[in-house]
Amino acid sequence: MQVGAFDEVVRPPDDFSLRIARNTQLVLQRECGLNRVIDPPGGSWFVETVTAELAGHAWTLFQDVEKLGGMAARAQRGLSPEAVAATAAERIKSANRRRIHRGREPIREFEGTAARSPAVNNRLFHKRRVQQVTSHRTSFNDGENEIVMEKLSKVFEFKGAELFEACVAAVAAGGTLGEITRALRINDRPATPVTPVCLTRASVAFERLRAAADVFTAANQERPRCSSATRFAPRYKARSEFPAAFSVAAATT
């Protein structure tokens, strides 16, 4: 079971978030005893039923893809991004107070510093990497460079398992990944553009609302305010609790 870091969707996980993810697994193992179940198959019929349904739907999708000529043909027609977008829209539409968003706290702690993505200078990294590769190549003598070129030339001649072995031999001789990639793609032709899949999360709307509240707070030195008036009766309790919790989740007061 893999437990992701809580901040991996907004930035590269740091030591703290990685430790929390690791400790979550340790708690499940050592305190909840998930690895010491008395009857592991007990109740497995439910999981097996859901797995069979999932496999059946997946197999139907695979057959549809084959009818269209493969995944590349499906992607070129824009069907894959459309299907993903339709599923995402349905999940976002159902994101209401009755749907729980895992990893999203309904009550926000105002104190403290929000997680920020560290500034990354991609140009500086690229420049430093180019210098490293250049230094690696110029450090070879003529004989070693000839061996590398000979190994790279083998990449054009093989396919399948032999092609993989030729790439490994080129790397072992000192060839870079860039050189091997160019050798593999030397005969490539421009392909039909493919619309990329747009990744999103059901809680994006709430995150944008919180971000807007933070901008308002920075400009006005106070949190946005909202009020809710309901009649004091048991049947109105849910109506009063939901807007109160929602306003806190939206970083308002």
**Predicted pLDDT at 60:** 93
Task: Report how far residue 71's alpha carbon sits from residue 197's, in angstroms, rounded to the nearest whole number.
Answer: 13
**Predicted pLDDT at 70:** 84
**Predicted pLDDT at 57:** 93
Residue 11, in any domain of the structure: no
Residue 227, in any domain of the structure: yes
Task: Report how far residue 58's alpha carbon sits from residue 78's, in angstroms, rounded to the nearest whole number.
Answer: 19
Same domain, 130 and 179: yes
Residue 140, in any domain of the structure: yes
Residue 24, in any domain of the structure: no
**Predicted pLDDT at 114:** 60
Same domain, 171 and 133: yes
The pTM for the full model equals 0.46
Total domains in the fold of the chain: 2
Instruction: Write the pLDDT tens digit of every residue in 112-150.
Output: 556 666 677 788 888 888 888 788 777 888 888 888 888
Residue 136, in any domain of the structure: yes
Same domain, 251 and 223: yes
Q: Domain range for residue 144?
A: 123-184
User: Which one, of 64, 62, 7, 3, lies nearest residue 32 by Cα?
Assistant: 3
Residue 92, in any domain of the structure: no
Residue 22, in any domain of the structure: no
Contacts of 133 (CB under 8 A, 6+ apart): 176, 178
Which long-range contacts does 85-92 make (Cβ < 8 Å, 24+ apart)? Answer: 85/198, 88/198, 88/200, 88/202, 91/202, 92/200, 92/202, 92/204, 92/205
Same domain, 178 and 208: no
Residue 148, in any domain of the structure: yes
Identity of the residue numbered 145 = N
